[in-house]
Amino acid sequence: MPAKWVIPFFILIIIGGSCFWAFQFLMPSATQKDALIADIVKNWQEAHPSAQRFVILSDFENEAALDQETGLIWEISPQPTAVTWNEARATCINRSTGNHKGWRLPAPVEMRSLVGPAVDSPIPNIPPGHPFLNIQPTSYWTVVPEANEPYYAKYVDAFLGNVLSFIKIYTFPVWCVRGPTKLNEH
């Protein structure tokens, strides 16, 4: 009886070993993965050069920057204090940055327009050379409440650009924006 299982056992070992070695040779190494990620980030940064993309606005007392890619006007120095979603909305509505009213929370797609590909970094992945100050190593509220969940609203992870939802009484910092809202895009 035991001899009956010897051949299938060796076949299983040969197949398993072959799969293991194929996996080792076909999968990129950690160095190759790091090089690929670095290449993706470099390409993104070259496609979105901050020096050409952002213009500091003297009409806003140099407290706001026009994103020429999106047409949005962003506060140069977002509020670093974390507040609830309702407080964040009120903060932007009452904001007078550069002696201008009309600020609001950004839509998720607008917030994501500032965040590049994920990198292992202690700070959010905003294009190098950007004009912004006080960017917090966290996520930021967006204007969008979660559909079918009245106690939740969407926020954007400033490191990875992920759009997620969390309970509105949680606190995140506020980064106000001006311009037409693009709510229908994700």
The model's pLDDT over 59-79, given as tens digits with 9 standing for 90+, comes to 999 999 999 988 999 999 998
For residue 115, what pLDDT is reported?
Answer: 78
- What mean pLDDT do residues 103-118 have? 84
Residue (of 186, 133, 135) closest to 161 by Cα position: 186
By the 8 A CB rule, do 138 and 40 touch?
no
C-alpha angle with apex 159: 140 to 137, nearest 5 degrees?
65
Between 78 and 42, residue with greater pLDDT: 78
Between 169 and 120, residue with greater pLDDT: 169
Cα–Cα distances in Å, from 142 out to 127, 128, 155, 165, 184? 20, 23, 5, 10, 13
Distance CA 88, CA 45 (A): 30
pLDDT tens column, 145-165: 998 899 999 998 877 778 889
For residue 160, what pLDDT is reported?
Answer: 73
Distance CA 34, CA 38 (A): 6
Domains of the chain (ranges; CATH) run: 53-178 (3.10.100)
